[in-house]
Amino acid sequence: MFKDGKEFKDAICRHSKERRRELEVVKKNEPHKIGVKCITVAKCPWKIFVSYSKKVRCLQVKCFQEEDSCYASFKNKMVNVQAIANHFEETIRVHPKMKLKEIQRRVLLS
């Protein structure tokens, strides 16, 4: 369960980054429903859909197809500047003079 769409999308972004899969939000215009599918390869069965439940007052997973037959993707639109900044925020705060090359190296390793 997720308290709102932002929390769900943050979790999807982390999953996308950690598993090196290119995911895409497919239900964008419905405020109480969000769907995400894997687009790393055509016809990948991985998908997840959540919708708002009035009973528990949060987003609840309605459909989750966990099977994933994709290979690692090095192209990922979900991992943007904001996602990288959030991931490395504490590291950069502790090491404010870290060189760009070192940040790039850590991005590639994580």
Query: What's the mean per-residue pLDDT of the chain?
Result: 85
Please identify which residue in the block is written with the tokens 């993707």: 73
What's residue 49's pLDDT? 94
Token pair, residue 53, equals 């439940």
On whether the pTM is more than 0.85, the answer is no
What percent of the chain is predicted at pLDDT more than 90? Answer: 22
Q: Where are the domains of the chain?
A: 5-79
Rounded (10°) CA dihedral 1, 25, 16, 21: 140
**Bigger pLDDT: 103 vs 110:** 103
Query: At 72, is the pLDDT very low, low, confident or very high (cuts 50, 70, 90)?
Result: confident
Please identify which residue in the block is written with the tokens 């939000």: 25
What's residue 13's pLDDT? 86
Q: How many angstroms separate the first and last alpha carbons of the chain?
A: 26
Please compute the mean of the pLDDT values over residues 21-39 and round it to a whole number: 85
Element (H, E) at 63: strand 58-65
Task: Flag whether pLDDT at 29 surpasses 70.
Answer: no
**Bigger pLDDT: 7 vs 83:** 7
